[in-house]
Amino acid sequence: MKSTRTKLLSAGVVTLAMLAGMPGAQAETLRLLTWGSYAPEEVVRLFEEKYPDIDVEVTFSNNEEMIAKLRATGGAGYDLAQPSHDRIYAVQQEYRLYKPLDLSKIDTSVYEPSLLEGVKANTTIDGEVYSVPHQWGTSGIMVDKTKAPEIKSWADLCDPKYKGRTSMRLKRTILLGTAFAMGEDPFAAYDDLEEYQQILDRVAEKLIACKDNIKAYWQGGDDLASLMLSGEVVASETWDSTAFRIYNENPNIVFVPPETGALAWIDTFSIPAKGEADEAAYKWINFVLQPEIVKLMSASTGSMCAIKGGKELLPDDKKAAYNAAFSDEDVARLKFFANIPAGVEDMEGKTLEKIKAATGG
């Protein structure tokens, strides 16, 4: 991957060449705003080999930071972003951070139809589509089956028999999962924010009461992997990709889709409103949807690409972990994150701060 400094130096050399009357053309820069594992060096190298007139510049981020960065510039500074499918509709309506996609420039025939249509439905405004899918996966529970074989619900993380031996991350996923475990439908409550606040209040009480069960509130996948592989923690809320990675080291540690349904997310491709390299962005999208590149990408992300046969392109160890985790019934119960209305993230943030203050999380 070419560093920013290298790019600046290269631009300087080209400028001097032009001043000297020598032939030369400055490469276009494709500025990606993406997740930590979504631009592996090998994929970037292969792309730049295929398109030597395009340099790839990568900024790693997450949903909250992507929105903040694009809001700060009015959609400038980046040429392709990868927000999750539920973080686009309300943001686009309020801040106009993205431009409509030209689907004729994307080979949509390679997509799994249900995933493509789902993202299009979530991100269509006034007849214009603002996102297409890339990677997808789920959040649920990771369990050491030799130590906690009966765990199958978000609520089981708070079972007193596992006092001091479970873990979770204090982010919105655990709020939603706990709500479902309590018999609520938080996504349906998005239409009535007063009702949703009442659900959040009950969830907060539950998670505060659960604090004695928590060995540690994990911050990142490596933290969680260490807790599980050491045996300090027997079960935790997690991303499936983290569980799949650990499965390769200890096949007794498996991902368990909660009985109410694993929470499913889809990370997308969206073009910022003031992006300056649209054609390069479309080339990147089509490039990384090719099967041979999907294999490299899935090895990096641990998640599935949204193309047809995406599971078969997972590395063998992750494919085995997926098969150990999901039945057809589990897949049928998936709960895809709903579009987040304005105000909901503030409500959830205040709830999380309340829980952190009460638990020391």
Q: Are the CB atoms for 72 and 273 separated by under 8 Å?
A: no
Quick one: DSSP state of residue 299?
A: H
Which residue's entry shows tokens 């309340």? 354
Positions of the chain with pLDDT lower than 50, given as ranges: 1-24
Please tell me the total count of domains within the chain.
Answer: 2
Give how far Cα 292 sits from Cα of 15, 40, 46, 299, Å: 37, 14, 11, 11
Beta strand 132-144 pairing with 253-256: antiparallel
Quick one: DSSP state of residue 269?
A: E
- The per-residue pLDDT for 319 is 94
Query: At a CB cut-off of 8 Å and minimum separation 6, what does 334 contact?
Result: 138, 257, 261, 262, 263, 264
Pair (246, 354) in one structural domain: yes
What is the rounded (10 degree) CA torsion for 325, 41, 59, 339?
A: -30
Pair (156, 240) in one structural domain: yes
- The per-residue pLDDT for 27 is 84
Q: For residue 139, list its beta bridge partners.
A: 239, 263
Give how far Cα 159 sits from Cα of 85, 166, 167, 179, Å: 33, 9, 12, 16
Pair (301, 157) in one structural domain: no
Q: Are the CB atoms for 351 and 200 separated by under 8 Å?
A: yes
- The per-residue pLDDT for 25 is 52
CATH number at residue 73: 3.40.190.10
Tens of pLDDT, residue by residue over 298-322, are 999 989 999 999 999 999 999 999 9
Give how far Cα 252 sits from Cα of 24, 228, 264, 292, Å: 58, 11, 23, 31
- The per-residue pLDDT for 342 is 86
Pair (203, 329) in one structural domain: yes
Pair (142, 250) in one structural domain: yes
Pair (250, 165) in one structural domain: yes
Pair (234, 101) in one structural domain: no
Q: Whole domain around residue 33: which residue ranges? A: 4-136+265-319
Pair (310, 338) in one structural domain: no
Pair (14, 131) in one structural domain: yes
Pair (211, 351) in one structural domain: yes
Pair (237, 282) in one structural domain: no
Pair (26, 101) in one structural domain: yes
